[in-house]
Amino acid sequence: MKPSTIKIQTSQDYYESLKGRRLKVYLFGELVEEPSEHPMIRPSVNAVAETYDLALREPELASVISPFTGERINRFLHISTSANDLVLQNKMQRKLGQNTGTCFQRCVGMDAFNALFSTTFEMDKKYQTPYHERFVAFLTEMHRRNFVIGGAMTDVKGDRSKAPHEQADPDLFVHITRRTSEGVYITGAKAHQTGCLNSHWLLVMPTMRLGEKDKDYAIVGAVPVEAPGITYIYGRQSCDTRSMEGGSMDAGNANFGGQEAMVIFEEVFIPNPLIFMDGEYEFASMLVERFTCYHRRSYVCKSGVGDVLIGAAANIAEMNGADKASHIKDKLVEMTHLNETIYGTGIAASYQGYATESGAYLPDDMLANVCKHHVTRFPYEISRLAQDLAGGLMVTLPSEQDYNNPETHELLKKYLKGKPNIPTEDRFRMFRLIENMTLGRNAVGYLTESMHGAGSPQAQRIQIARFMQLEYKKRLAKVLAGIEVIDTEAMVEEAGSYFGRVFEI
């Protein structure tokens, strides 16, 4: 990694930085020439670009002064060293959700940076390894360049009942295949990686708890997105080809979209200075758990996306002339109630964050899981209510081409008219936005990714179970039922973990 020369400041800089990289990207059976300009990929690039623009428009919200370089950098690159830092991440996430109506794809990198910062610190402390120092050097360089970092975590996993080393095919989890004095070579594949193509660097990390025999799978390192040996196969989304049809209406949200790809590593080299874990398998779970703790609470972004959908539902009700009905207003209230619950539990996790040994702050695990668990339910209900308010036209509207075809334009303008003072085209566009967010391209991010990103619902339930301190609660009940007398000291001791934070002053 050579010293940086250019620092990305504007979305324009960012667009430029993506050009001319020799990426091997497959889409619809073909290699893509210039991925960042492909009409189906472009909206996901735009969403990341907005993270730069926001930092310029609202620097307090979306940028910080790097403690490593002393320069202003994007907040997505910052290591949180206070609860307030964690809260500000959430505020920025909600704003970006509002501005893009989609996944803006930078949280994985942010959360991976934060998790690695403290995990490398604790690894070094235990093993006198050089990982934290290396990582800080890499981080500093990323700050200098103000780069976008993607994560590469979710292995394809193969047979879920077997550990990595037990798989029939050892490549079903990314692992080290070869070592030299300069570094290591890795092979394997990471599935559904959000925002990989439009990043500058990828952080490769293990996807789950590892055992002693999985040592070669305990590899963390950084690789440039264009590293030799990487193949990207682009993932399809519902209604993805609408962005290739040429218009701006049927896409629903023509500017912004998410991105997910399969990232295949074939003997990809990681030089020693960019290796941040190598064989310390017992730290894999710490890394994964800290990452998911940050990341589950990062789903506060969906409250920003929810704001857009609530706004869209309110618009369409008005355009239909139905906004005065009491049940319509009541449904908007319910949508808001659910949406704010995501926000409220998320920022509570951040506010109740605590310092790790490295000084980096980690959100409260219980509340982070509670937040994410709501995210696996409430966007679906908000979406259902939005469809209720929209009415059936949302899924039976003729195509944009028919709307623009002179032979049918007047007919459609006449018959798709809702409230007299509202242009038919506006109503048309609003239907398409709701379709986009509840069935189409951005439903992928608002719904299915909300379900599985940062761990599926059952993963949160397992974590909630770990933190729910039943023994402490059982004792409370026994005291009130007259079975035991209260043992205050024991209670304080048992409080430990979650209740320790709840009752911390």
Kindly tell me which of 183 and 258 has the beta carbon lying closer to a copy of itself.
Answer: 258
**What count of residues does the chain have?**
505
DSSP 273-337: GGEEEES-GGGHHHHHHHHHHHHHHHTTHHHHHHHHHHHHHHHHHHHTT-TTSHHHHHHHHHHHH
Q: Which of the following is catalytic: 51, 52, 107, 217? A: 107
Kindly tell me which of 124 and 266 has the beta carbon lying closer to a copy of itself.
Answer: 266
Kindly tell me which of 7 and 413 has the beta carbon lying closer to a copy of itself.
Answer: 413
Residue 227 binds a copy of itself (CB under 8 A)? no
User: What is the rounded distance in angstroms from the CA atom of residue 17 to the CA atom of residue 250?
Assistant: 30
106 Cβ contact list (under 8 Å, min separation 6)? 48, 51, 76, 148, 149, 195
In a 3-state reduction of DSSP, which class is residue 450? Answer: helix
Kindly tell me which of 106 and 134 has the beta carbon lying closer to a copy of itself.
Answer: 106
- The verdict on whether 239 is a catalytic residue reads no
By CB under 8 A, the residues from 314 to 343 that bind a copy of itself are 314-315, 318, 320-322, 324-327, 329-330, 332-333, 336-337, 340-341, 343
Among 6, 56, 65, 465, interactor with a copy of itself by CB under 8 A:
465
For the CB of residue 155, give the shortest distance to a copy of itself in the complex, in Å: 9
Report yes or no: 249 and 400 within 8 Å, Cβ to Cβ.
yes
Residue 230 binds a copy of itself (CB under 8 A)? no
Among 19, 125, 126, 419, interactor with a copy of itself by CB under 8 A:
419
Q: Which of the following is catalytic: 15, 131, 294, 299? A: 299
Residue 405 binds a copy of itself (CB under 8 A)? yes
User: What is the rounded distance in angstroms from the CA atom of residue 15 to the CA atom of residue 365?
Assistant: 36
User: What is the rounded distance in angstroms from the CA atom of residue 420 to the CA atom of residue 424?
Assistant: 9
In a 3-state reduction of DSSP, which class is residue 199? Answer: coil
Residue 407 binds a copy of itself (CB under 8 A)? yes
CA dihedral for 481, 485, 489, 490, sign (positive or negative): negative
Q: Which helix (H) or strand (E) holds 127?
A: helix 107-127
Q: Which of the following is catalytic: 260, 280, 289, 435? A: 260
User: What is the rounded distance in angstroms from the CA atom of residue 395 to the CA atom of residue 393?
Assistant: 5
Helices 42-57 & 83-100 angle (0-180, nearest 10) = 130
- The verdict on whether 435 is a catalytic residue reads no
Task: Mark the binding-site residues, compressed into ranges.
Answer: 194
Q: Which of the following is catalytic: 51, 102, 154, 194? A: 194
- The verdict on whether 185 is a catalytic residue reads no
SS3 annotation, 151-169: EECCECCCCCCCCHHHCCC
Contact segment (CB under 8 A) with a copy of itself among 7-15, 117-125, 198-206, 455-463 equals 455-463
For the CB of residue 396, give the shortest distance to a copy of itself in the complex, in Å: 3
By CB under 8 A, the residues from 119 to 178 that bind a copy of itself are 154, 156, 158-161, 168-169, 171-172
CA dihedral for 144, 145, 147, 151, sign (positive or negative): negative
By CB under 8 A, the residues from 235 to 294 that bind a copy of itself are 235-239, 241-242, 248-250, 252-256, 260-262, 264
Token pair for 481: 């039922």
- The verdict on whether 196 is a catalytic residue reads no
For the CB of residue 400, give the shortest distance to a copy of itself in the complex, in Å: 8
User: What is the rounded distance in angstroms from the CA atom of residue 63 to the CA atom of residue 85?
Assistant: 11
Kindly tell me which of 106 and 432 has the beta carbon lying closer to a copy of itself.
Answer: 432
Token pair for 187: 């092979």
Strands 30-31 and 260-271: unpaired
By CB under 8 A, the residues from 476 to 495 that bind a copy of itself are 476-478, 480-483, 486, 488
Strands 183-194 and 25-27: unpaired
Among 81, 271, 416, 500, interactor with a copy of itself by CB under 8 A:
416
User: What is the rounded distance in angstroms from the CA atom of residue 473 to the CA atom of residue 296?
Assistant: 25
Binding mask 74-103 for a copy of itself (x = CB under 8 A): -------------xx--x--xx--xxxx--
Among 96, 287, 349, 362, interactor with a copy of itself by CB under 8 A:
349
By CB under 8 A, the residues from 370 to 389 that bind a copy of itself are 370-371, 373-374, 376-377, 380-381, 384, 387-388
Residue 73 binds a copy of itself (CB under 8 A)? no
Residue 65 binds a copy of itself (CB under 8 A)? no
For the CB of residue 339, give the shortest distance to a copy of itself in the complex, in Å: 9
For the CB of residue 250, give the shortest distance to a copy of itself in the complex, in Å: 7
Report yes or no: 159 and 22 within 8 Å, Cβ to Cβ.
no
Q: What are phi and psi of 223, to 5 degrees?
A: -135, 145
User: What is the rounded distance in angstroms from the CA atom of residue 297 to the CA atom of residue 367?
Assistant: 8
Kindly tell me which of 221 and 363 has the beta carbon lying closer to a copy of itself.
Answer: 363
Kindly tell me which of 20 and 321 has the beta carbon lying closer to a copy of itself.
Answer: 321
Supply the residues annotated as catalytic: 103, 107, 194, 260, 295, 299, 301, 449
